[in-house]
């Protein structure tokens, strides 16, 4: 595994040309959490002794059922060993998305914060309907799609057949479909180099008033609501007064930081960066997903597109005897 090194990704206000924001689209059980584990290990942000399976799945039910429910994000250092960016110190934001069809809203927010997506398909099963739904969402948002076949170490794997299937769906050549094994780590460094090469860096106006997209928020018993954001324009710094544009509520940014892979305080966030804000607010309803964060003083007048009021869902199951 990669040797433990100084994590330069903890320094924010990174030049946008050095940033790559991407997510992983996959069906349940196609190896998304395992791939995220390998990426964390290879980038050197976790010591082997601290590593555990499903590292980004923090909820008990996620670990018990082996599924991802909450979108997670992590900021990683990566120096490509091949391709156009060979030898450059790049910063990657992996925004992990749920694979289950019931979480389409979660997925759409995560896609909104990215410029590229890894389409991860099991080499023994092929592409599934739920993955297709998320793939079409990503294509609608003009994300760069990187097709990847996982589990090529399985005896039942048929990479030739499924490379052709994926190529027909997304309109690429079968040989462009990358082949990896998230379990053994085979092919993953080459895949990350490809992400650096193909996924465009984020665009935004550094001198404009701040605009940041809220793509997730969680409640922490000690610190209140932790709001995860992707910066689009401008900069945000601690102790600034900020406004949530849909509700008009104003707060003070007590702490701003990044997740790499533990939450770490920083001096702020610049264009294209992904991180979190803590305002001390205790009500999650004030931090609505899809909302735009801006400065309270001389802030942006136009919110980011695509905000809609979240619709609460209640699922009920009947099991007659």
User: Are 54 and 32 in contact, with CB atoms under 8 Å apart?
Assistant: no
Q: What is the CATH number of the domain that holds 89?
A: 3.40.50.300
User: Per the domain annotation, does 142 fall within a domain?
Assistant: yes
Parallel, antiparallel, or unpaired for β 274-278 and 144-150? unpaired
In a domain, 25, yes or no: yes
Q: Are residues 155 and 80 in the same domain?
A: yes
Q: Are residues 149 and 182 in the same domain?
A: yes
Comparing CA positions, the residue from 146, 126, 156 lying closest to residue 187 is 146
Q: What is the mean pLDDT of the chain?
A: 84
Boundary-marking domain end, from 161, 177, 198? 198
Please write the tens of the pLDDT for every residue from 207-257. Answer: 999 999 988 888 888 889 999 999 999 999 999 999 988 888 899 999 999
Domain count, the chain: 2
Q: Are residues 178 and 227 in the same domain?
A: no
The larger pLDDT score, comparing residue 137 to residue 2, is at: 137
Q: Give 67's pLDDT tier (boundaries 50, 70, 90).
A: very low
pTM of this prediction? 0.85
Q: Are residues 245 and 179 in the same domain?
A: no
CATH code for position 241: 2.40.30.10
- Whether 134 and 276 map to the same domain: the answer is no
Same domain, 145 and 225: no
Q: Tell me which residue range forms the domain holding 144.
A: 17-198
* Domain shared by 246 and 166, yes or no: no
Residue 162 sits in the same domain as residue 37:
yes
Torsional sign, CA 159, 116, 261, 42: positive
Mean pLDDT of all residues in 154-178: 92
> CA-to-CA distance for 109 and 104, rounded, in angstroms?
9
End-to-end CA separation in angstroms for the chain: 52
pLDDT value, residue 237: 94
H-only helix segments in the chain: 32-42, 60-65, 104-112, 129-140, 159-170, 188-198
């Amino acid at each position: 595994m990669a040797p433990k090194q100084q994590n330069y990704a903890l320094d924010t206000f990174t030049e946008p040309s050095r940033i790559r924001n991407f997510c992983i689209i996959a069906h349940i059980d196609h190896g998304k959490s395992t791939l995220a584990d390998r990426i964390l290990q290879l980038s050197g942000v976790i010591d082997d002794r601290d590593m555990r399976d499903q590292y980004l799945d923090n909820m008990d039910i996620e670990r018990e059922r082996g599924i991802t429910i909450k979108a997670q994000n992590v900021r990683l250092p990566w120096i490509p060993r091949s391709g156009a960016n060979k030898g450059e110190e790049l910063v990657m934001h992996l925004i992990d998305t749920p694979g289950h069809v019931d979480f389409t809203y979660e997925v759409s927010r995560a896609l909104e914060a990215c410029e590229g997506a890894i389409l991860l398909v099991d080499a023994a099963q092929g592409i599934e309907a739920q993955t297709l739904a998320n793939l079409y969402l990503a294509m609608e948002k003009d994300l760069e799609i990187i097709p990847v076949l996982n589990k090529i170490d399985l005896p039942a794997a048929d990479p030739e057949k499924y490379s052709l299937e994926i190529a027909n769906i997304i309109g690429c050549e079968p040989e462009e479909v990358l082949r990896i094994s998230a379990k053994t780590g085979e092919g993953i460094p080459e895949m990350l180099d490809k992400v650096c090469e193909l996924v465009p860096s984020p665009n935004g106006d550094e001198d404009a008033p701040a605009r940041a997209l809220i793509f997730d928020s969680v409640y922490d018993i000690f610190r209140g609501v932790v709001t995860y954001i992707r910066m689009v324009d401008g900069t945000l710094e601690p102790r600034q007064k900020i406004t949530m544009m849909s509700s008009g509520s104003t707060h003070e940014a007590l702490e701003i930081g990044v997740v790499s892979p533990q939450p770490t305080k920083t001096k702020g966030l610049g264009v294209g960066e992904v991180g979190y804000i803590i305002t001390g607010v205790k009500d999650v309803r004030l931090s609505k997903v899809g909302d735009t964060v801006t400065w309270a003083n001389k802030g942006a007048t136009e919110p980011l597109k695509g905000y809609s009021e979240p619709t609460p869902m209640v699922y009920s199951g009947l099991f007659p005897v």
